[in-house]
Amino acid sequence: MGRRELITRTSAAAVSGAAVLGAAEGTRAAAADRRGASGGRPRSRPNILLIYTDDLGYGDFSCYGSTGIRTPRIDRLAREGVRFTDAYAGAVVCTPSRAALLTGRVGPRAGLPRVLFPEDENGLSDDERIIPEYLKSAGYATTCIGKWHLGAKPEHNPTRHGFDHFFGALYSNDMTPFELWRDEEVVESVVDQSTLTRRYTEEAVAAMDRSGDQPFFIYVAESMPHIPLHVEPRFEGASDAGLYGDVIQSLDHYVGVLLDALRERGLEEDTLVILTSDNGPWFEGSSGGLRGRKIYTYEGGLRVPCIARWPGVTPAGKVSELPVSVLDLLPTFCAYAGITPDPGVTLDGCDIRSVLEGADTAEHTPIYYFDDLGRTLDAVRDGRWKLHVRRHIENPDDPDRDQRELPELYDLERDPTESYNVSESHPAVVRRLRRLIEEFESDVKAELAKAG
Amino acid sequence: MGRRELITRTSAAAVSGAAVLGAAEGTRAAAADRRGASGGRPRSRPNILLIYTDDLGYGDFSCYGSTGIRTPRIDRLAREGVRFTDAYAGAVVCTPSRAALLTGRVGPRAGLPRVLFPEDENGLSDDERIIPEYLKSAGYATTCIGKWHLGAKPEHNPTRHGFDHFFGALYSNDMTPFELWRDEEVVESVVDQSTLTRRYTEEAVAAMDRSGDQPFFIYVAESMPHIPLHVEPRFEGASDAGLYGDVIQSLDHYVGVLLDALRERGLEEDTLVILTSDNGPWFEGSSGGLRGRKIYTYEGGLRVPCIARWPGVTPAGKVSELPVSVLDLLPTFCAYAGITPDPGVTLDGCDIRSVLEGADTAEHTPIYYFDDLGRTLDAVRDGRWKLHVRRHIENPDDPDRDQRELPELYDLERDPTESYNVSESHPAVVRRLRRLIEEFESDVKAELAKAG
């Protein structure tokens, strides 16, 4: 059974008794429902606050094992919601990871296989229908704050892709020019990066207030902790983990400000908060003992912290070991919003409402790991097994040298650090996972060929 | 205070009450002493059994945290001796690491900065005086078994450098030709690598018997677990960590055979056993959560398991967190043998007898990390601090990209996985460690210039 089928099925069973509103019923009904006016817990059209960090390590929050960094607000969010041990970003680097998040499709399929640089002309295609476009059709107010990195031409601007408002940067904070935009205008060319986290937070709170009776989708794509690291003076030296740790503690503080803002506005019960990240840690940051970092297809490159909280819907304090992916967010958000993704579009994730709501049953959920340039599909995880068929090339002059000892098969249950290749003793698993890779790669290639 | 001065001083204090025999007293006195005939515990001229694995990971033994691999014999050795948590190989790759071990000098200084390949003409210089040459002068019988990898021309053969006997291979087991030599003759051109660990062990036991009244130095340089992995059928599937784990369990078994052989011959009390390795894990193997692997100057590249046992001399069950290095073995072995290294030779390690005997006082012990080609000195550890000034180049086309965010300063006490750079808040430490690097690099360069 494929990934999408399985989780959708269990999810459908889990929510079959709930009243799911149709898209046509529109804004007012949604607002009434999310305020709980229809009685009982709201089960649909929640506000969605998606906080998305940049180059964060799997082990950088206290609730993911950090000792030198204290993240009390994020830890509390985890205690109040579901914390995922096996959540995956959409790619091992920034642009394809963000493309995966917003389109629900892996970067190569979505036409954004690799990191964009200021000299690049391409960006998010009009053919892609992304999360805010879907949610707008269900009456949501949509706001994009922070790092975009899906193209810098006017046609790539977030406001051309379903976001009512945009405040943030078109690139990573180590790229030039690093400017702040409001909608389609540059509003700041010399940016004091130490102010970014605070200002993104203030913009998000303003977006909550601006949404009025509409449910909102607020996407806060933090610029930190991507290099260069910057933090407000008040956080300097706050952690026991250098400037990087201070930056994480600052993020924790501002996550707290956002959560406080929800509570103060009476929106806590009506809001699904998701906190996750775009790929593994780069120069600094802890992979939490996982092998590899950003750019690599070992777990440290793709596995990220992920916490989801919707009081009364997500079981408080649940720790889920099910593999989930940011690719799942689009179908899940659509399902909660009561709308159906375009049937003609291939989505690579699945509706994980049941998992957010506490299910432990979705065992077969392939995770696909493309190389950092999106050229090749190098690894797949299905349940406890992970197969690598290619490896990141470190020596372009001697690429063969890096492709030895393949395939690698790891039993992530017994060997979470991918240290011991068990491919020889599990040939059937190798064959099955290799077929998953071949089929998925063919499927993506076929779609690209069709699109021309 | 420099590293050598400090430990030598504390060591001298620790052993000042012991009767240390002079070199001139020769073989018979040594034999009498090591048998305990002079009364009490032997304090000098022990037999030395040095077991040296290839590409082993820091986390691959149970006593270093492995759960999928069971190493009961090695664990028992650790319980009976001193287990080092912070022991360092001499380099991040094979040849310079072995050069460091045997010459007591870092690879670039010893003229072997990088891995040797079959097409290379160079090898261990006659100008280097290595451990077996020193020990021979103190009456030891010396045997080299296993992987040499310090040159393949006749003048590089172990028997030309102080070893009475040699049985093993001149190269890594992934190089061609991979042949077995006895002394200066090829004795096997088609090698069943699954037999190597057993046969090396049998050779080592034969060397014990051959030594007669002489103290012995037996250097068992295992070919495993370097790729390609091979193991006897009886160990296939023995571990829960694939073929690699089976290979480690086979090594554990044969370490046990060696220890049994010592006991059966009544040599246990007279023998210093050291078990360590040449660099971090390569394709497989666990770094035990440390960052990086073989080739990298992060801890996973250079830190290795190390256990030392000399009953009655090394405190049983001691776990030492002092940084020590294989560079320390030459001066330490010389000291135990009652001889003085050539005064004109710069040694990079120091006499660590006091540490082996339980001292906890040697705080300032710089560890130097050269890049994998021995071109540049990229990092240094001094006590709790480690400074990186350069980084392994992964993208030769864009080397600048890999040299960002330097220097990196890590507090290994708080941050053993090198995740959080604290260079900005500790500028004086950065300056001091940078000076250590500059001075050491200058010193090596000056010696090479003098040597022409």
Tens digits of residue pLDDT in A359-374: 988 655 799 999 999 9
Q: Which of B52, B61, B77, B71 is nearest to B286 (CA)?
A: B61
Q: What is the pLDDT averaged over residues B345-355?
A: 95
| Contacts for B339 with CB less than 8 Å, ≥ 6 apart | B23, B134, B137, B138
Task: Report whether pLDDT(B290) > 60.
Answer: yes
Confidence of residue B371 (pLDDT cuts 50, 70, 90): very high
How confident is the model at residue A36, as a pLDDT?
Answer: 42
Mean pLDDT score, A367-383: 95
Which entry of A144, A149, A165, A253 is annotated as an active-site residue? A149
Q: A452 falls in which pLDDT band (50, 70, 90)?
A: confident
Q: Quick check: do B3-356 and B376-451 share a fold? A: no
Is A118 an interface residue toward B (CB < 8 Å)?
Answer: no
On whether the CB atoms of residues A201 and A258 are closer than 8 A, the answer is yes
Answer yes or no: are the C-beta atoms of B238 and B249 closer than 8 Å.
Answer: yes
Evaluate if residue B147 carries a pLDDT over 80: yes
Q: Residue A396: pLDDT above 70?
A: no
* pLDDT at residue B361, rounded to an integer: 82
Please check the confidence at residue A245 and state whether its pLDDT lies above 90.
Answer: yes
Please write the tens of the pLDDT for every residue from A65-121.
999 999 999 999 999 999 999 999 999 999 999 999 999 999 999 999 999 999 999
pLDDT band of A6, cuts 50, 70, 90: very low
CA distance A255 to A305: 14
Residue position matching structure tokens 């649940």: A318
pLDDT above 90 (res B396): no
The per-residue pLDDT for B397 is: 61
What SS3 class is residue A186?
strand
Of A286-295, B10-19, B114-123, least confident by mean pLDDT is B10-19
Above 90 in pLDDT, residue A24? no
Backbone angles phi and psi of B185, in degrees to 5 = -120, 140
Query: Does B321 contact chain A (CB < 8 Å)?
Result: no
Closest partner residue to A420 among B244, B287, B405, by Cβ? B244
Beta-ladder partners of A318: A82
Look up the ipTM and state it. Answer: 0.90
Is the pLDDT at B105 greater than 50, yes or no? yes
Q: How many CB pairs under 8 A join A and B?
A: 107
Q: What's the pLDDT at B83? A: 98
Distance CA B323, CA B325 (A): 7
Which among B144, B149, B253, B306 is annotated as catalytic? B149
Q: Specify the CATH class of B376-451 in words.
A: alpha beta
What angle, 0 to 180 degrees and rounded to 10, lies between the N-to-C axes of helices B3-15 and B329-337? 30
Residue closest to B283 by CA, chosen among A410, A414, A57:
A410
Query: Which residues on neighbouring strands pair with residue A167, listed in sequence order?
Result: A145, A182
Q: Which residue among A240, A245, A422 places its CB closest to the CB of B242?
A: A422
A420 touches chain B (CB under 8 A): yes
Q: Do B420 and A289 touch (CB under 8 A)?
A: no
To the nearest 5 percent, what fractions of chain A are helix, strand and coil?
Answer: 35, 15, 50
Catalytic residue at B94? Answer: yes
Residues A301-318 have pLDDT tens digits of 999 999 999 999 999 999
pLDDT of residue B127: 96
| Spatial distance between the Cα atoms of A281 and A275, rounded to a whole number of angstroms | 16
Q: What is the pLDDT of residues B1-24, one digit of tens each?
A: 444 444 443 333 333 333 333 333
B440 phi and psi angles, rounded to 5 deg: -70, -40
Cβ neighbourhood burial of B159 (10 Å; 0-12, 13-18, 19+): middle
Of residues B11 and A257, which shows the higher confidence score?
A257
Contacts of B275 (CB under 8 A, 6+ apart): B51, B52, B53, B74, B77, B255, B305, B306, B307, B308
Q: Omega before A407 cis (within 30°)?
A: yes
Q: Does B28 score more than 90 pLDDT?
A: no
A130-184 pLDDT, tens digit each: 999 999 999 999 999 999 999 999 999 999 999 999 999 999 999 999 999 999 9
pLDDT tens for residues A264-277?
999 999 999 999 99
In chain B, where are the structural domains located?
3-356, 376-451
Instruction: Report the C-alpha gap between A303 and B251 in whole angstroms.
Output: 34
Burial class (CB in 10 A: 0-12, 13-18, 19+), A160: middle
On chain A, the residues whose CB falls within 8 A of the CB of B92 are none
Stronger pLDDT, B411 or A29, i.e. the higher one:
B411
- Residues B210-221 as b/e (b if ≥16 CB within 10 A, e otherwise) read ebeebbbbbbbb
Q: What is the mean pLDDT of chain B?
A: 90
Banded pLDDT at A8 (limits 50, 70, 90): very low
Report which DSSP code applies to A20. P
Q: Is the Cβ pair A237, B425 closer than 8 Å?
A: yes
C-beta atoms of A425 and B244 within 8 A:
no
User: Quick check: A351 pLDDT over 60?
Assistant: yes
User: Which residues does chain A have within 8 Å of residue B395's beta carbon, measured at their own beta carbons?
Assistant: 396
Average pLDDT across chain A, whole number: 90
Closest approach of A339 to chain B, Cα-based (Å)? 43
Flag whether residue A281 sits within 8 Å of chain B, measured between CB atoms.
yes
Report pLDDT for B441. 96
**Contacts with A398 (C-beta within 8 Å, 6 or more apart), sequence order:** none
What pLDDT, on the 0 to 100 scale, is given for residue A397?
61
pLDDT of residue B38: 39
Q: How far apart are CA B70 and CA B255, in angstroms?
A: 13
Mean pLDDT, to the nearest integer, of B437-449? 96
Q: Which positions ≥6 away from A392 have C-beta within 8 Å?
A: A295, A296, A297, A371, A372, A378, A402
C-alpha distance from B381 to closest chain A C-alpha (Å)? 18
* pLDDT band of A43, cuts 50, 70, 90: low
For A396, the closest of B286, B396, B408 (CB atoms) is B396
Instruction: Say whether pLDDT at B124 is over 70.
Output: yes
Classify residue A22 by its DSSP letter: P
Topology classification of domain A3-356: Alkaline Phosphatase, subunit A (3.40.720)
What's the whole-number mean pLDDT along residues B91-111? 98
Q: What are phi and psi of A415, to 5 degrees?
A: -135, 70
Take residue A378 and report the two structure tokens written for it: 């190098």
Maximal C-alpha separation, chain B: 66
Please give the average per-residue pLDDT across B404-422, as a whole number.
97
B283 lies within 8 A of chain A by CB: yes
Single-letter amino acid code for the residue at B34: R
Residues of B in contact with A408 (CB under 8 A): 283-284
Rounded to an integer, what is the distance from CA B249 to the centroid of its chain?
20
- Per-residue confidence band for B166, with pLDDT thresholds at 50, 70 and 90: very high
Contact B421 A244 (CB under 8 A): yes
Between A42 and A37, residue with greater pLDDT? A42
| Averaged pLDDT, A321-342 | 96
Residues B291-316 have pLDDT tens digits of: 999 999 999 999 999 999 999 999 99
Residue of A94, A158, A152 lying closest to A132 (CA atoms)? A158
Helices marked H in B116-239 — which ranges?
131-137, 196-210
- β-pair partners for B49: B218, B273
- Alpha carbon distances (Å) from B219 to A250, B49, B140: 54, 6, 12
Q: In chain A, whose CA is at the least distance from the CA of B57?
A: A419
- To 5 degrees, how large is the angle CA B309–CA B315–CA B318? 90
The question of whether A226 is a catalytic residue gets the answer no
Nearest to B419 among A286, A421, A422 (CB): A286
**Is residue A197 over pLDDT 60?**
yes
Q: Which of B229, B398, B414, B420 to mutate to test the interface with A (most CBs of A within 10 A)?
A: B420
Structure tokens at B374: 């021995």
What's the pLDDT at A75?
98
Say what the pLDDT of residue A402 is. 74
Is the pLDDT assigned to residue A390 strictly greater than 90?
yes
